[in-house]
Structures are given as C-alpha cells and as structure tokens.
A and B are shown apart, each in its own frame.
Chain A
Amino acid sequence: MLFNSYPFIFAFLPLVLLGYFAAGRLGNLAAVIWLALASIGFYAFSGWQFVPLLVLSVAFNYAIGHLLIERKLSPAARSLVLATGVGGDLLVLGIFKYAGFFVANVNALFATALSVKILLPVGISFYTFTQIAFLVDAYRGNVARYALPHYALFVTYFPHLIAGPILHHRDMIPQFERAEAQRPHAHLILCGLIIFGIGLFKKTVLADSIQPLVALAFGPVPPSFDQAWIGALAYTFQLYFDFSGYSDMAIGMSLMFGIFLPLNFNSPYKASSIIDFWRRWHMSLSQFLRDYLYIPLGGNRHGSVRRYVNLMITMLLGGLWHGAAWTFVIWGALHGAYLCINHAWNYFVPPIAPRFARAANIASFTVTFLAVVVGWVFFRADSLVAALSILTKMADPTQVAFGRAEMARAALIVVYAAIAWLAPNTQAIMGYDHKKRIVGENLAAFQMRPWFIYASAAVLAIGILGIQQHSEFIYFRF
C-alpha cells in the first residue's frame, strides 16, 4: 500500500489512528501491539509473501539481542553471538538482494550460464540496517532491556518500514513506552497532517510532474546536449522531491501517533560542499554509515591515508546498499572520491580571504551541485555504458536541439530549482525539532493564523487531488 493512495489516506491511516487511541485507553501494551500488528498488515499489502521473513528477522534479532543484553557471557562468546547476529542479517540481505548480482558477475567472468531468480523483499535494506545497529549497540552495552512488542514495533513501525528514515532504538523505543503518546493530541495531529500534506504535495505534484522529463536523458532516444542536461536535472529534482516527500509523509503521519521521527533531509541542494551535502541528504543513512561502518573502520583516527581509505570503503558499501548493480557502486565510489577531495582541500588549501568569501561560496555551491548531478546520472542509468553515454552528451555542446519544447522544459527546471534552492524546507516551515520533541511552537503562539491553516489545507487537498495510480516512491526499490 502506498502512502500516496486513497485507500491508505482515507481508510488505513484513520482506522489505525482510531484503533491506536482506543487501544491506548486499555494501556500502553495494547496500543503498541495494535500498532505493530497494523504495521505488519501494512507490510502485507506491499508483499504478503515476505511477511514471514520480516517476522523471522525480528524474532532472530530480538533473540540475539536478548543474549547480548540479558546473559552474562564471556567476551569471546559475546563476540560470537554478535557475529552470528550480524552475519545472519547480512547473509539474508545478501541472498535476497545480491545473489542475482553475484551470479551475473560470475557469468560475465567465467562465461557460465547460471541463473537465480529471487524477488527483493520490500524494505529489507532498511529493516536489516535498523536491526544491525540494535545488535551492535547491545554488544557495546548501550541498550536497555526492551519488551518484544516494543522491539517489534520499533522494527516494523509502518511510517518508516518501507523506505526509512532508518530509526535508532534509543530514539524510538522510549517514545513507544510513553503512555501519553497514546492519547490524541490535537496540536500534534494538526501539525502531522500539515507535514504529511507538504510531503504528499512534493510527491504527487512536484516529483510526479517532472518525471516525464527524465526520459529525455534516460529514455531510448539519444539526447542532445540540452536534452541530456534537462533530463539529468529533472531526475535530480524528481529524486529529491520524491524521497523527501516520502520522508515528510512518514514524519507527519508518525506525529499524529505522537511519535517524533528523525529528519532525513535538510535542503541538500543548498549544500556548499560534498561534506555538507551528506549532512543534509538521507541523513539517517549517513548517520548509520558513520556510526556503524566509518567509525568502526577507524574513521579519521589513524592518519589521513586511512581516513581516505575508510571514506572510500564506506561510500562504496553505501552505494551497494542502494542496489545490486555496478552503477550504484560507481555512484558510491564517485561520492567517496568527492569526499576525499573535499577533506584534502580543507586540509591543504588555506582559508579564502574574507573579501573573496562570497565568490568562493557561490563557486563551491555550484561545483557541489554539479558533482551531485553527475553522480545521479550513474545512480539512475540502466548501465554504466548508458551513464557514460549521457555524460558524454552533457559534455558535448555542439549538438543542441533547444526548440520550443526544450525551452518550456528548461523553464520548468528553473521553477524546480527555485523551490529547492530558495524555499524554506518543511522543518523550517513547521518548526519541527526532533531532538527537543517540539513542532509548530511558533505557529501555536500565533494561534495558527487562519491564512496558514487555509494555505496548508489547500496544499494537502492539491496533494490528494494529484494522486495518480501506479506512482511508486523511487526508494521503494532499495
């Protein structure tokens, strides 16, 4: 079931919300169990055949966590239990996500004709990472004892289950344990609806509308210089509005349940460097990779060469996490290289004189954005050959179409760029602070001025009216 569908908005969400508050009257456990069951029901709509795998994964990781938290094991035994847990998770992920990729490469290398057909379970990358973090923290002794229903809800919680944000148990489970969350709170429901509406608008109006332009670069017809740029930029904005729209919807609907989800985006295309970009784009994944991969690898603690190696490894695996294809590996490698260059620049190049600061900022913003666009070409292309072909067209200004259609499309790109670069983001509009657990304070202080209520109601209505059939979120396939 998609967030951007009538059954979800008009049936599933209101029913689950009403059931949650009704169960909350019976006690915290009843509400948590209701929400966990509803979440599994939601997952079943996306692929019922994968429900057993999800349930088994939750049970397996809870059992491993239980051993690490409850039992007094020797250090060696603890390491073995952790290795079993993480290894088991990665094995399942490997089989379901990477077996086909592995076999295709074996076939290419050894001219064999092996065949493997395994369907990718929806959301497996997200719920695997969420639970690996839990196990690692349990091993480190940073996890309190959690009841199974609360743990199960933490993993399966439907606003984040399919495409994140990647949640942290320390952040989420205490919220599920709070009894007051299970009482309806008009302010949170209102703010949640407004944020949900903004996300829905981003998806159905902005992302879906620009989608046809993407085919200019990535379609079957070789593009001209301008068409390649229009297509690549269209994808750049489509991906942002699609994924940040999804994240806003997840945050908004969770808020209706009284649960604050972490932010996933902070105007990434306003970034002034690649380091800055990764602090703004898919933030929950960046934090996961930093805390559970980059830092355990040694981070920047063993000299600059090791730091660059660690960065490259982290970004290569981050790329591969997105999908089992060489295009994602190259995308990760490219961003690893960008980050290395960025860190080296910061280290070796002296600070810019204040009088040139403005020009330097504009230059670094421009270079960062272009580097990101080049990366997205690999991310979106069907193959490395296709990506290189598109990039070649983008670098060849001798072939220009720029007819009436291209002019109109370029104008549309300018509108999207203006929104991404100049408009405030959702958390700025709503005063959403995940850490302080506050939202809409300023708006409440002004008693929600009528114009804001009506404008945000129009945004939600337009978002609902924009719903088209068969419009999945891009990140569902990861």
Chain B
Amino acid sequence: MSTSAKNLVRFLLASVAFMAAAVALNYIVDPLQLFRPAKLFAAMYSQDTRVQDAGLIRSQDFDTVFMGTSLAIHFRQSEIDKALGTHSLKLAMTGSTSREQSFVLAAALERHPKRVIWEMDDWIFVDSDDIDKDIWLPADLYRRNVKGVASYLFSGAMMRESLWILLRSIPPLRPIVARLTNGVMFSFPLSDVDDIYALRDDFDVPGTYNAGKAMAEFVHITEPSRAAYLGEGYNYDAEVKNFERDAIGLIKDHPDVTFNIYFPPYSILQWVAMRDASPATLKTVYDLSAYMSRRLLEFPNVRLFDFRCIQAITHDLNNYSDVVHHSPVIDKKVLQMLASGQYLVDRSAPTASLERLKAQVQAYRVQR
C-alpha cells in the first residue's frame, strides 16, 4: 500500500473515531436528559422549548402537564404547584400551533399524568404543516426512534453543549464556566428547570407591560396597510377540523386524564382591533369559540375556564405589553382562579361567557 493510500485509510478511520467519540460524549453527558435524569453531570436546561420538552418529558417526575403558547410561557412550575397543589411540568411553547401542542402533550401523556392544564388560544388551530415537516420541533426525538436518537447523538451542536456541561461539572472550572455561560453561545444556560422562560426577579414589569405599549400595538395592527394580517390564516372549517383532531382527539383518547382548559384574558383591544379592522375575522373567532366551548363541555374529563371577559383585567391596559400578552401579575391571578374554580364555564350554558364578551366588545370605545 502506498503512503498516500495509508494516509487515506488513516484519515477515514480518524474521522470515524472522532464521530464515535462525539456520539459517546453526547450519550454519556446527555444534555437533554433523554436517556436518564442528570446524575453524573449537572443538569442544564435550554430555552428552546420545542427541543427541550422532548427531554423534560423523559427526565422529570410530574402529575400535571402545563401547555400553551407564549401566553403561558412565563409561569414557574413552582408557582403552579404552590397554587394548585400539583407536581407540574411546563411544556408551553411560544408561537406553537395546535398540532405541535397536541403532539407534545401526547408524548407527555405516555407518562400517565393525572391532569393537563391547557392555555388554549383560538389562533393555534389555523392550518399548519405536518409535524414531520415542522423544522423547529424534532418529532423523531419525541418518538425516540432510530432517526431521532441518531440525530441527537450525531449532533455537533449537542457535542458542544456536552463538552460545556462536562467542563461545568469540574469543580475548579465551575465558577468561570458558569460565568461564561449565556444563551447566545450555549443553548443550555439554565441550571434550574423552574427558570425556563421564567422572568427574573429584577425584570422590569412596569416598563414592559403598560397601556402605552398596548395602545401602540393596537394602532399598529389596525393600520389599513396591516389590517389584512388580522385575519391571516383564519378559516372556520379548517380550524374546526384542526380543533377536532388536535384537542378533541387527545381528550377522547385519554378519558382518565382531567383537562383543565382555559381561554386566556387578552386585552379588550385584541377584540376591538378585529371589530374595527377585520369584522369578518371577529365573526370567525366568535363562531369557533362557541363551537369549542360546546364541544369541549361534552366531555366529562374537561373543565373549561373562560377568563376573556374579566373586565377588571382585560380593560386595564397596564396589564399588557401588546394586545394579548399579559403581565406576570395576571399569571398569578390565573393560577388563583384555576385553583378557586372562578370563571368555570357552566356545562348547561357553554356560551354564556362568550355572550358577555361580545357585549363588552360592542360597547368598548377606544381612548387613544
């Protein structure tokens, strides 16, 4: 064999050996805790919830699953547990669709929790890609099939995280590595699962949530050039179909699980924006909402809460950073109301709260 041929063989073997070492490192450190809860190395967590949730479902103990969009993202598990007496796992994902939420919930329900708390927005039911075409959510990782596990173990990005976690676990290096850890360079910067997307204690709540910001967003989204976006993707038939598949399908399949579903308290401006700039969209949302309420309450394992017409919250624009996202102060109120059963929708009058909302929306006058 010539020298070049020997070098070629050496090169190929070294490449394979290097990849094998990376796979071994990822398996042993297991940053997502997909194979086992962290013991050898410090547990670290990512804010990329679509990926992180795959590991949380496997590694955490829980009897309650908390699902939702960005409106449910800032809750702390510890606060949920304190308010509701649960052992919860928050799996909320910003901007998530019903297809994503249902898929992740189905994976979590394989661990047999007792209940689901589901922050349910109407817009999650717009048409979306099939879960295997979703580039943000690694479906195979949830399924733990060969493709999913291989993509996890053969990942250079995960190898970087594994090395970092490894370094962080070496006592003399721990302080400096911890100081250098940030969400820009490393995807697993959090050492406490409770901190995933939770707001820090020094977070500027009044600066972020105030009437000025809410009104500015209202003005922005109701500009004639932007008004068309308000109704983007809304189609009653498609949403009903997606709702049946993603929500009702899951509820039906798990009669032993209690689904505590709540419609969150958007600011009144969300509805008024549709009223003024896109009335057809408002009608679609009302119709879908009525359908959802009636359909959900057909199931004995569903408890439905409607917080959309609580004037004390929704008309106080200082609670909002835009027309829908409410402050952590309201998060706490939501937990209190879930615990006390306030605003629980009566099965005999599933659309009564919707009618109250409609009246409020009709009566509201915007003060710019």
Chain A CB within 8 A of B18 CB: yes
Does B185 lie within 8 Å of A412, measured CB to CB?
A: yes
Q: How many of chain B's residues have a CB under 8 angstroms from any CB in A?
A: 26
Q: What separation, in Å, do the CA atoms of A189 and B5 have in the docked complex?
A: 9
Q: What separation, in Å, do the CA atoms of A462 and B163 have in the docked complex?
A: 13
Chain A CB within 8 A of B183 CB: yes
Q: What separation, in Å, do the CA atoms of A302 and B215 have in the docked complex?
A: 63
Per the 8 Å Cβ criterion, residues 236-256 of A in contact with B are none
Does A458 lie within 8 Å of B7, measured CB to CB?
A: no
Chain B CB within 8 A of A370 CB: no
From A120-128, A352-360, A463-471, give the one contacting chain B.
A463-471
Instruction: Indicate whether A453 sits within 8 Å of B14 (C-beta atoms), given known contacts A465-B156, A466-B156.
Output: yes
Q: What separation, in Å, do the CA atoms of A187 and B15 have in the docked complex?
A: 17
Instruction: Indicate whether A457 sits within 8 Å of B155 (C-beta atoms), given known contacts A190-B7, A409-B184.
Output: no
Does A190 lie within 8 Å of B182, measured CB to CB?
A: no
Q: How far is the CB of B139 from chain A (nearest CB, A)?
A: 12
Query: Interface readout for B178-219 with A: 1 if CB under 8 Å, 0 if not?
Result: 000011110000000000000000000000000000000000
Chain B CB within 8 A of A193 CB: yes
Chain A CB within 8 A of B154 CB: yes
Does A457 lie within 8 Å of B8, measured CB to CB?
A: no
Chain B CB within 8 A of A460 CB: yes
Chain B CB within 8 A of A404 CB: yes
Chain B CB within 8 A of A456 CB: yes
Does B185 lie within 8 Å of A193, measured CB to CB?
A: no
Does B184 lie within 8 Å of A405, measured CB to CB?
A: yes
Contact with A193, one of B11, B18, B19 (Cβ below 8 angstroms): B11
Query: Interface readout for B1-40 with A: 1 if CB under 8 Å, 0 if not?
Result: 0111101101110111111001000000000000000000
Q: What separation, in Å, do the CA atoms of A204 and B4 have in the docked complex?
A: 28
Chain A CB within 8 A of B251 CB: no
Does B14 lie within 8 Å of A470, measured CB to CB?
A: no
How many A residues are at the interface, by size bracket? 20 to 34
Per the 8 Å Cβ criterion, residues 129-186 of B in contact with A are 135, 154-157, 159, 182-185
Query: Interface readout for A332-369 with B: 1 if CB under 8 Å, 0 if not?
Result: 00000000000000000000000000000000000000
Q: How far is the CB of B197 from chain A (nearest CB, A)?
A: 15
Does A187 lie within 8 Å of B184, measured CB to CB?
A: no
When distances are taken between beta carbons in the complex, the residues of chain A under 8 Å from B8 are 186, 189-190, 193
Q: How far is the CB of B90 from chain A (nearest CB, A)?
A: 23
Q: What separation, in Å, do the CA atoms of A185 and B8 have in the docked complex?
A: 10
Contact with A458, one of B10, B14, B157 (Cβ below 8 angstroms): B14
Contact with B4, one of A186, A409, A412, A457 (Cβ below 8 angstroms): A186
Per the 8 Å Cβ criterion, residues 445-478 of A in contact with B are 447-448, 450, 453-454, 456-458, 460-462, 464-470
When distances are taken between beta carbons in the complex, the residues of chain B under 8 Å from A197 are 15
Q: How far is the CB of B155 from chain A (nearest CB, A)?
A: 6
Q: What separation, in Å, do the CA atoms of A462 and B14 have in the docked complex?
A: 12
Nearest neighbor of B153 in chain A, beta-carbon distance: A465
Q: How far is the CB of A193 from chain B (nearest CB, A)?
A: 6
Does B5 lie within 8 Å of A461, measured CB to CB?
A: no
Does B11 lie within 8 Å of A465, measured CB to CB?
A: no
When distances are taken between beta carbons in the complex, the residues of chain A under 8 Å from B155 are 465
When distances are taken between beta carbons in the complex, the residues of chain B under 8 Å from A461 are 14-16, 18-19, 22
Q: What separation, in Å, do the CA atoms of A189 and B9 have in the docked complex?
A: 11
Chain B CB within 8 A of A69 CB: no
Contact with A448, one of B3, B18, B22 (Cβ below 8 angstroms): B3
Other A-B pairs beyond A190-B11, A193-B12, A409-B184, 16, CB < 8 Å: A185-B4, A190-B8, A194-B11, A405-B182, A448-B3, A450-B10, A457-B14, A457-B15, A458-B14, A460-B11, A461-B15, A464-B19, A464-B154, A465-B155, A469-B135, A470-B135
Can you list the 6 inter-chain pairs with the closest CB atoms, starting with the nearest?
Answer: A465-B156, A457-B14, A461-B18, A186-B4, A408-B184, A466-B156
25 CB contacts below 8 A, A to B, read A186-B4, A186-B5, A190-B7, A190-B8, A193-B8, A204-B156, A205-B156, A405-B184, A408-B185, A444-B3, A447-B7, A448-B7, A453-B7, A456-B11, A457-B15, A457-B17, A457-B18, A460-B11, A460-B15, A462-B18, A464-B19, A465-B156, A465-B159, A466-B156, A467-B156
Chain B interface (Cβ < 8 Å from any Cβ of A): 2-5, 7-8, 10-12, 14-19, 22, 135, 154-157, 159, 182-185
